[in-house]
Amino acid sequence: MSSSSNVNRTGLLETYSYDDQIVRMFVFATIIWGAVAMLLGITIAFQLATWKMNFGLQWMTFGRLRPLHTNAAIFAFCGNAMFAGIYYSHQRLLKARLFNDALSRIHFWGWQAIIVAAAITLPLGLTRGKEYAELEWPITIAIAVVWVVFAVNFFGTLVRRRERHIYVAIWFYIATIVTVAVLHIVNGLSLPVTWTKSYSVYSGVQDALVQWWYGHNAVAFFLTTPFLGLMYYFVPKAANRPVYSYRLSIIHFWSLVFIYIWAGPHHLLYTTLPEWAQTLGMVFSIALWAPSWGGMINGLMTLRGVWDKVRTDIILKFMALSLTFYGMSTFEGPLLSIKSVNAIGHFTDWIPGHVHAGTIGWNYLLIAGILYFLVTKLWKTEIYSKTIANIQFWMATIGLSLYYVSMVVAGITQSLMWRAIDANGKLVYPNFIETVVKIVPMYWVRAFGGTFVFVSFLLMGYNLYKTMQQGSVGIEEVYEAYALDDSSVEKNATQHRKLEGLPLVFGVLSLIAILVGSAIEIVPTMLSNHYISKIDAVKPYSPLELIGRDIYIREGCYLCHSQQVRPMVHEVLRYGKQSEAGEFIYDHPFQWGSKRTGPDLARVGGKYPNMWHYRHMLNPRDVTPQSIMPIYKWLVEQKIDYATLTRKLQVMKQLGVPYSDAQINNGVMSAQTQARTITEDLMKSGVPAEVEDKELVALISYLQRIGVDYGSLPKSN
């Protein structure tokens, strides 16, 4: 048994074994959910290439499946892979079995139950309307509970460890557990209306900042830090070489954890978020270049001396390419955070291109390497077919390249068309659909690129299955190590070295590192309702508009339409007056969106007659030839839900929306009256009277209200 030169381990020699069965279970779940996530991905990719792929089914529209795809990819696929890798490495790095077998099983089955709940509720349109945090409140609570189970199991193992030193991979795991808990709880705060409906406690600008503080750091602390930890364990193991620089890993860890948390506001540049918060987000995003590349260099340089093996060893090949993509996407992220670049890239397809360079290039490829490593170790055999693995590698690489290049081309093309202004000061492409039609060929390229990636994943599933078949799990092996006693304490240890022996203190310091940035950004914004100029003309939504807004959220309209006119000439020319923070104070949750597959809707209220919206929702091609929007025929079949309206108004009042008791008590009657008025207008164009109690009428009432209060004010206001 090796030991530090300052340590001579003595004392009680204990025996123990590793719980590898739980790792195998998470490996299976990773393969299954990975295939599901990618199948959903290519489904929605084809839906953007041709609207017919929505099949006219409400639970299959882009707006409902897109959140399912992102949740499946992030939390089901990457989540299960992360747990498999953490549980395998954590035990071995600490020379201890996981704290409690029962907790491990509760963690596993709890997480799978949450995924199944997401797979049922999201297509049904049960959503909080916040990107990557769509799951309704009972599931949100269940996630918190399962996360706590994971944390107890993880830290319990740390307490029972036989290795005093906590290896760098575990620091990244600690930061992940602590930060994800904070992000999930703060962003998940909602007031329930029913078991399946809740409203975010934040509104407008506040909600936007909290949401993107969460959204950005979900990428940081769910898709990056745990996988960096896995990289620090599995790359040295696969290469059979120690990490290039342990010192650099320390710098990497603290810098990354401290800086990452500040960068969220780069998702909200040019919005009505306070300017100082935008600048802060941009500056810290650029600062992220250093630690991100420090980690990438540390990973790649670990392969120094074994580059010949990278050519032949499929596991190293996947890992080397994933690190390369990590370097590329962490270069591109800060680049997109520079305001002038962001002005071009934001709201376009460049962003999904960037995101998938990270999730496919970094996460999927690293997971592929880790899965091949784990399956060969846990089933005690060799990879079934290196040829299949090589075909997988190239299919994934080519598929991702097609995806990325097509999206960057589409994004920049469309952005330049949006902003083209002629010599007379008019938009060159005033009709938004012109800019969509231009990039539809790129949507086809993306869909086929995604299909390549999906097929590569299926090949891996088959290869891993055959590998498992030819191997054998065998009996649980027993190991021995000295109990952790005073003999493990190093003489003359440095302060950081001592710190690494104190997981609780280490965890608290990590928490402080992420809370500094969070507090400085969020606390002033928590007070923002006090210093955002109140606009007297902006009133709460009427009861029917509130119902309509909930339908807008249910159908995921915010995934293709923004509600934010940026202070740019071409946006003001195209959409109308630029947005103001005071416009959104009653928006629980905010609906600014992050992508414009269709035009911005911040000033759509009153722009078209009711009949235009009616025809548009039933068949968008009737009013906008070549539109790629799905049809929403069920909106004229399903009745308006008046039963929960009073409760909705009461919850909104609790959240600070100034509804009077009379407005709440008469809410249903008021909504029905407004529905009748809209229906009478539609009937003039031949629409049957039966639509009066149908959802489309409520949605029209909301669409006709968006941006009207502030937008109709004279410009001096």
Binding of another protein by 493 (CB under 8 A)? yes
CB of 545 to another protein, least distance (A): 29
Spatial CB neighbours of 424, under 8 Å, sequence gap ≥ 6: none
Binding of another protein by 496 (CB under 8 A)? yes
Residue 645 corresponds to which tokens in the numbers above? 């309206």
The residue among 247 and 380 lying less far from another protein, judged by its C-beta, is 247
- Least Cα distance to 22 among 68, 74, 84 occurs for 84
- Least Cα distance to 563 among 599, 612, 608 occurs for 599
Residue 161 phi/psi, 5-degree rounding, is -70, 160
Binding of another protein by 536 (CB under 8 A)? no
CB of 332 to another protein, least distance (A): 25
CB of 396 to another protein, least distance (A): 26
Binding of another protein by 93 (CB under 8 A)? yes
The residue among 120 and 527 lying less far from another protein, judged by its C-beta, is 527
Q: How many residues in the shown chain lie near another protein by CB under 8 A?
A: 46
CB of 694 to another protein, least distance (A): 44
| Residue list 510-529, contact with another protein (CB under 8 A) | 524, 527
The residue among 146 and 282 lying less far from another protein, judged by its C-beta, is 282
Q: Report the alpha-carbon distance of residue 23 to residue 30 in Å, rounded.
A: 10
Residues 141-180, one symbol each (x = binds another protein by CB under 8 A, - = not), give ----------------------x-x-xxx-----------
CA 302 from centroid of its chain's CA atoms? 30
Beta bridge partners of 14: 481
| Residue list 252-281, contact with another protein (CB under 8 A) | 254-255
Beta bridge partners of 198: 192
Among 340, 424, 533, 716, binds another protein (CB under 8 A): 533
The residue among 484 and 651 lying less far from another protein, judged by its C-beta, is 484
How far lies 225's CA from each of 37, 80, 433, in Å?
21, 15, 40
CB of 183 to another protein, least distance (A): 23
DSSP alpha helices (H): ranges in 555-644?
569-575, 610-618, 620-623
Binding of another protein by 236 (CB under 8 A)? yes
Residue 460's H or E segment, with its range, is helix 432-470
Burial class (CB in 10 A: 0-12, 13-18, 19+), 331: middle
Classify the C-alpha dihedral 268-269-270-276 as positive or negative: positive
Binding of another protein by 495 (CB under 8 A)? yes
CB of 232 to another protein, least distance (A): 8
CB of 92 to another protein, least distance (A): 5
Q: Can you spell out the DSSP letters for 115-180?
A: HHHHHHHTTTT---SSTT--S-HHHHHHHHHHHHHHHHHHHHHHHT-S-SS--HHHHHHHHHHHHH
Residue 152 corresponds to which tokens in the numbers above? 């107890």
CB of 495 to another protein, least distance (A): 7
Binding of another protein by 1 (CB under 8 A)? yes
Binding of another protein by 491 (CB under 8 A)? no
Binding of another protein by 462 (CB under 8 A)? no
Residues that bind another protein (CB under 8 A): 1-6, 15-16, 89, 92-93, 95, 163, 165, 167-169, 233, 236-237, 240, 242-243, 246-247, 250-251, 254-255, 477-481, 490, 493-497, 524, 527, 530-533
